[in-house]
Amino acid sequence: MVLAQLGGSIARALARMKDATVVDEKVLADCLNEISRALLQADVRFETVRDVKANIKTIVNLDALAAGTDKRRIVQKLCRMLDPGKPAFTPSKGKPSVVMFVGLQGSGKTTTCTKYADYYRRKGFNPALVCADTFRAGAFDQLKQNASKAKIPFYGSYIESDPVKIAVEGVDRFRKEKCDLIIVDTSGRHKQEAALFEEMRQVSEATAAFDQAQAFKQSASVGAVIVTEMDGHAKGGGALSAVAATRRPVIFIGTGEHIPDFEVFDVKPFVSRVLC
């Protein structure tokens, strides 16, 4: 949710710069200030915001702009700059990977878990879904329904309230069933509460604890971002802000409410989305 709002602010700032007849120092400064404000409001660390701002300043050549250089290049440069340049985790067929989904409540986690599972099932993987969201009433039913619609095995509990216990049981069961991509949906909160992070840490540690396989460790340690609601008003702003906030690569984007509304993140179409 926060990312979607943040994305909206950044997209608006970029759109204003794109629409300006002349991009001079003032237009650029206004845009940078707006982006910085949005990032700070979303609790991105001050140092990160300062670096992002400084980096953008150095890549934008005002003289070239004054000479009438295409403004689209600025946006392209922004995207390139915000690419963290780290390879993203990708699961390997036949090797057990556990992927944990983390995000604020309403950000699209439960929907995206199924989209992610379905994407890899189509690629020949044997995925499974575990509902470790014991906080939000209805999360269990929602994921179960999504899973059955997509014909993906599901594990969860109506009565157990300990998310760590459910995650461990679910991962254990699906490892025995030789699933090679075990996706754990976790609970979100309205704010980035300390308790939520502690819960995430416990689930992550507990599910990693009983498998020392290299692939498993990699999957537990390497983070990546999926930006949802790319079909909404925030457009590319969400991706830009997600990378800036986490310094992790964006791997997929959600483009609608349904399971097939899911695309591999690719810079070129992304850039054109930001521009249109």
Residues that bind ligand GDP (CB under 6 A): 103, 105-111, 188, 228-229, 231-232, 254-257, 261
Closer residue to ligand GDP, CB minimum distance, 157 or 218: 157
> Least separation, in Å, of the C-beta of 186 and ligand GDP?
9
Kindly state the smallest distance separating residue 273's Cβ from ligand GDP, in Å.
13
Comparison of 142 and 218: residue with beta carbon closer to ligand GDP: 142
Tell me the closest approach of the beta carbon of residue 110 to ligand GDP, in angstroms. 3
Indicate the residue among 122 and 258 with the shorter CB distance to ligand GDP.
Answer: 258
- The residue among 118 and 229 lying less far from ligand GDP, judged by its C-beta, is 229
Nearest residue to ligand GDP by CB is: 254
* Smallest separation, CB 148 to ligand GDP (Å): 16
Pick from 100, 189, 184, 99: nearest CA to 136: 189
CB of 232 to ligand GDP, least distance (A): 6
What minimum distance in Å lies between the beta carbon of 255 and ligand GDP?
6
Computed on alpha carbons and rounded to an integer, the radius of gyration of the chain in Å comes to 20
Choice between 77 and 189, CB closer to ligand GDP = 189
Nearer to ligand GDP, 12 or 109 (CB): 109
Contact 187, 196 (CB under 8 A): yes
Residues 73 and 235: their CA atoms lie apart, in Å, by: 18
